[in-house]
Amino acid sequence: MPQKNLAFEALKKLLNDEIRIISKKNIVEAKSFTELLEKTIKRYTNRSIEAAQVIEELIELARKIRDEKNRGKELNMNDDEIAFYDALGVNDSAVKVLGDETLRKIALELTQMIRKSVTIDWTQRESVQAEIRLKVKKILRRYGYPPDKEKRATETVLKQAELVAQNWVSI
């Protein structure tokens, strides 16, 4: 293709738009895709890779995004449950210790608990946030989530809850 820069810009825009859509549902996934995209763009702007190679890498990133969309069907989980699953999976040692099936159970339970606990103003009320934080910690402990990583997981789950709960409350 003679206009490789145009193809690069078009792919970059499409991927940025797709990542923006993902970021409204899943902060962990959006962050990882953003980092991959930024790394590829940086390598291209530093001229360490050619236009054709960056286009190939962007196409591969688009494939990863597409595959990620289908992951929920494979795990038999909806988008919200996948988002909490990813929030728990940030900790690699938790994935190794607990395994995918246990993380899946935790994600399902967290989704149900948070769905029942959120109210319209829950992000402004400290008491509701504290109650949800406590419930998250109890669920993580019940399943044997590694205690050294529990605080980070709890914070990631709460951030994810703020993101997805906006849709729940407005419905």
CA torsion sign for 134, 140, 143, 145 is negative
The full set of domain ranges for the chain reads: 4-75, 79-170
98 is written with which tokens?
Answer: 């607990």
Q: Dihedral, CA atoms, 39, 69, 162, 89, nearest 10 degrees?
A: -70
Whether the Cβ atoms of residue 162 and residue 149 lie closer than 8 Å to each other: no
Q: What is the pLDDT along the chain (171 residues), one digit of tens a residue?
A: 567 778 888 889 999 999 999 988 889 899 999 999 999 999 888 887 788 888 899 999 999 988 888 888 888 888 888 888 888 877 676 777 777 788 888 889 988 888 887 777 776 778 888 888 889 889 988 988 887 778 888 888 888 888 887 766 554
pTM reported for the whole predicted model: 0.80
Of 145, 88, 84, whose CA–CA distance to 113 is shortest? 84
